[in-house]
Structure 1
Amino acid sequence: MNLRRLGSTDIFLSPLGLGTVKLGRDQGVKYPTGFTIPDDQQALKLINRARELGINLIDTAPAYGESESRLGPLLKGQRQDWVICSKVGEEFHQGQSSFNFSPEHTRFSVERSLQRLHTDCIDILLVHSNGDDQHIIQHVGILDLLADLKAEGKIRAFGMSTKTIEGGLLAAQTSDAVMVTYNLNERSERPVIDYCAAHNKGVLIKKALASGHICHTNDNAATVNSTPEHRDALAVDPIAASMEFVLSTPGVSSAIVGTINPKHLALNVEKALAVLTPA
């Protein structure tokens, strides 16, 4: 996969990134089927397979349970091969999520992530929004603090994983990148992507496959907002239809896809390559 530049930064990403929620958390998730958190051997096999397939972006967060703590040792000896994206703001403890956007907690969280990930710099750091995007940006000032951390060399790029159009646009104006939900079923945040494309800001896509639901074509929720053409494509090949829709959108830097199955990962890359290098 040809790498894509993250906005105006010096960071280059594979069009597909590996999400690691399932490496650290199996509670309070919204996947269509249950799963067992893989052991270290299985997790390392997945990470190595991702690298072999040309993926260089790995996405984690304190809110992903033990994900960061596990990735540190698992990436030993191959840190230079990966662009690590982590987050601040959301915590997950004893099965419950909580949010803290204060400057004190943000600095603590970043230092903790650096220790957990066994690195001296996080490539991309995003604010993990609770949905109140505008308040967090305008009244808490967390993006200003992340700019300071970037100047200190603790992070290379920063932005926000937003949940609203207004928040996404605000974040894009004052940071390097945004992460938005975008798939065949949820397209409301497209204006944020368009703004980023016009202003050379990075765009990371979450839930590109609707957390796996879009692959279950019998589930009406996965197809209700699709066009007739996309519904036909979904019926034939939901992964291919989703990859074409997301990765062909101008401005998209990379789409994060979470899986713990190496075969599913290879299939995702195969479908992405068909879009990125059409016959």
Structure 2
Amino acid sequence: MEYRRLGRTNYKVSILTIGGFGPGVYPDAQAAIKAVENAISEGLNMIDIAPSYAEAEIRLGPLIKKYRDRLVVAEKTLERTYEGAWRELKTTLSRFGVNSLDIYQFHAVGSLEELNKIFSEKGAAKAFLEARDQGLIKFIGITVHADMRVALKALEMFDFDTILIPVYAAAMTMPRPENDFRPVLKVAMDRDIGVIAIKSIAKRRYVGEKRYTTWYEPFDTQEDIDMAVWYTLSQEPVATYAMAGDIRLWPMILSAGKRFKKLSLEEQSKVVEVFREKGAKPLFPENL
């Protein structure tokens, strides 16, 4: 497994990250725990998790405590107020039985209104800064899923250490300001911000039967997953890709990660064209 520097954090992280959503929602708790232990045994040393991921914190808390010295733990909160963020952080630390988290993130920020609330006098940012001063968290990050313009604005407002965004080939079948990750990656590169990618294997929004616990329809053959994961990991300065929200897809993603081959610009363009022919579309904006 390849490892990369996660921006200014200087953590050396595996190019694949354990995504907490899949293990949190999978019906079989023991199978979910086993999938995470297997990922750790394969060399993955970063986990991205949230209290909003169903049972994820409860199921995986003992594993995080057990492997704390080996894992870079990235947590996140949907709370936007000072009191709410403090309350949720303390609950998470208690569930994990640990003294600190490596990265704490504002989760799924979707609008300028949310950003303004976070950075208001009684906003969550104040709690994050206090927690960092007290050594409860080391680095501060943000995750933006739907609109890259919000991500760019956030990076103007605060000097984040990490950012988590969708970086996926299907977005480039119809680039729009909402889904074009390239300007965000440029800022991250210029300022040494660690980039965590999501949605790599997204094909489009579901059409018809929903076969996976991912909210989008994923690519689900080894060939397509190879192309998708290699495309994402070929974008600079992406450090790692958080695996999809269905643990049944993890074996193919792990295989792609272990065999990672950096794609040339020509090969990247070819992946986009192949996916376009297969009906791939950006997840945002919704009306595409």
Place the TM-score, normalised by the shorter chain, in its bin. Answer: 0.7 to 0.9
**Aligned counterpart, 2:55:** 66
Q: Over aligned residue pairs, what C-alpha RMSD do you find?
A: 2.8
Amino acid of the structure 1 residue aligned with 2:59: R
Is structure 2 residue 282 aligned with structure 1 residue 265? no
1:116-157: per-residue Cα shift (whole Å, max 9, x none)? 12211111111113511x333334313353233222111121
**Aligned counterpart, 2:132:** 150
**Aligned counterpart, 2:16:** 16
Judge which range, 61-70 or 157-166, deviates more.
157-166
**The residue matched to 1:55 in structure 2 has which SS?**
coil
Contact residue 126 and residue 158 of structure 1 kept, 8 A:
yes
Contact residue 143 and residue 159 of structure 1 kept, 8 A:
no
1:4-63: per-residue Cα shift (whole Å, max 9, x none)? 1211113221111111213223xxxxxxxxxx42223x2332122111211111121011
Q: Name which of 27, 44, 47 aligns with 2:36.
A: 47
Amino acid of the structure 2 residue aligned with 1:244: W
Amino acid of the structure 1 residue aligned with 2:252: L
Shift of the 201–76 alpha-carbon distance from structure 1 to 2, 3 Å rule, reads: closer
Is structure 2 residue 7 aligned with structure 1 residue 7? yes
Amino acid of the structure 2 residue aligned with 1:53: E
**Aligned counterpart, 1:92:** none
- Residues 1-279 of structure 1 mapped to structure 2, 5 A cutoff: 1-25=1-25, 36-40=26-30, 42-89=31-78, 100-132=79-111, 134-141=112-119, 142-162=124-144, 163-173=146-156, 174-187=159-172, 188-210=180-202, 237-258=223-244, 259-261=246-248, 264-276=249-261
What is the aligned length? 240
TM-score normalised over the length of structure 2: 0.74
**The residue matched to 1:8 in structure 2 has which SS?**
helix
Contact residue 86 and residue 124 of structure 1 kept, 8 A:
yes
Contact residue 2 and residue 258 of structure 2 kept, 8 A:
no
- Residue identity over aligned pairs, in percent, reads 23
For residues 88 and 275 of structure 1, the distance between their equivalents in structure 2, rounded to whole angstroms, comes to 31
Gaps of 5+ in 1: 26-35, 90-99, 215-220, 224-232
Gaps of 5+ in 2: 173-179, 207-215, 264-288
Amino acid of the structure 1 residue aligned with 2:236: P
**Aligned counterpart, 1:94:** none
TM-score normalised over the length of structure 1: 0.76
For residues 52 and 169 of structure 1, the distance between their equivalents in structure 2, rounded to whole angstroms, comes to 36
